[in-house]
Amino acid sequence: MHAVDFSSRLRVEPRQCYILGKGTGFGKVILFNEHFVVYGLPAIASAVGAKTTALVERHLGSGVEIIDNRPETKGYKAEKLAQQKESLDLMLKFMNIDTRNQAYTVTLAGDLIAASGVGASAASCAAIARAFSDELGLNYSDDRVNEVAYEGEKGYHGTPSGIDNTAATFGGLIWYKREGTSQIMERMKLSRPVDIVMGNTGIVADTKVVVAGVRERKEREPERYAEIFKNADRLARDARRQLEMFSLEEVGNSMDQNHELLQQIEVSSPELDMLVDLARNNGALGAKMTGAGKGGYIVALTPGRDLQERVAHAIEKKGFQAMRTSIGV
Ligand code: PMV
């Protein structure tokens, strides 16, 4: 046996820290037309109450490290580690931030659970863009933050539609559509906020893989998919009218129909279908999977605290996490 010399490992480099940049990004829920939105169809999304926060510190040295203190669905952060790194590199490059002569630490936190389907990646991208802008005095407008977050989303989604980063950056209830390379976002108004419940399957899905699967099947069965896409287009337009007229029964019905279309393009899963049925059986006006699917969350329309509590409780009784929040705030 020989003694081990720990002295070199114990040497602590002085960490000279300058200012601290801060930023936030909203979690989101897609109410209508995830996936279809990738192909230019309209979609409707809303920010939810929970947020991700980012802090950026500058140090002497080089490189960038992320400390991820967000609450998570078990396994999410480990599963997304490589994509998170790729996303950060894309954003730093886009913002022209050189890490060769300056070191940065990015710390993520907040009350948004890092999970599939709640826009966790987009919320973190918007928060990081804002924190770097704050730290380096870049004075980014919301539009610029959104552009940077879109770049970051490419690390997670491959070909993002842009709806997640737009909802994460601007908040509120939005109508979103891609036209070629440009993106149309219109703010929508609800006469008052509406309670919803989001139920978490606890399954971490890979958005890139699920989106690629839709593309593959769409190319294989163009006629069948064209019909489904036509229905999805009409549904989002109807749903916009129903939301703006505050016809919640009809909105719920449209959510049910949207879930069926998502089942038809094979992005739902038995766990998502089970939670959707559970929410409906407990009085939700409508329910659907939300986000990429194959795991992640469902969203149920549950106006009124009693109904919201009943649905959330039923989900929790089955051993799943439920988030009580609202849209149109
Ligand atoms: O699972 P999420 O929250 O990342 O949502 C993905 C939404 C998709 O429509 C499936 C992809 C996209 O880029 O719009």
Lowest mean pLDDT among 132-146, 150-164, 261-275: 150-164
pLDDT level of residue 280 (50, 70, 90 thresholds): very high
Does the Cβ of 294 fall within 6 Å of ligand 1?
A: no
Please give the pLDDT value at position 181.
Answer: 82
The predicted structure's pLDDT at residue 200: 95
Distance CA 37, CA 30 (A): 10
The residue to mutate among 38, 52, 116, having the most atoms of ligand 1 within 8 angstroms of its beta carbon, is 38
Q: Tell whether the model's pLDDT for residue 7 goes beyond 90.
A: no
d(CA 264, CA 181): 28
- Rounded to an integer, the average pLDDT of 58-81 is 94
pTM for the predicted model, two decimal places: 0.89
pLDDT confidence tier of residue 3, bands split at 50, 70 and 90: very low
12 C-alpha to center of ligand 1: Å?
A: 43
- Mean pLDDT of all residues belonging to the chain: 93
Mean pLDDT for 146-168 is 93
Using the mean position of ligand 1's atoms as its centre, give its distance from the Cα of residue 34 in Å. Answer: 6
> In the prediction, which pLDDT does 18 show?
52
Over residues 17-31, mean pLDDT:
88
Q: Please give the average per-residue pLDDT across 72-82, as a whole number.
A: 93
Q: What is the mean pLDDT of residues 40-69?
A: 96
CA-CA distances (angstroms) from residue 230 to 210, 227, 264? 21, 5, 13
Would you say the CB of residue 211 lies under 6 angstroms from ligand 1? yes
How much is the pLDDT for 319? Answer: 97
Give the model's pLDDT for residue 19.
60
Cα-to-centroid distance, 292 and ligand 1 (Å): 5
| Pairing state between β 63-68 and 182-188 | unpaired
Residue reference for tokens 């480990």: 78
The average pLDDT across 227-256 equals 98
- pLDDT at position 35 is 97
**Residue-wise pLDDT tens digits, 90-137:** 999 999 999 999 999 999 999 999 988 899 999 999 999 999 999 999
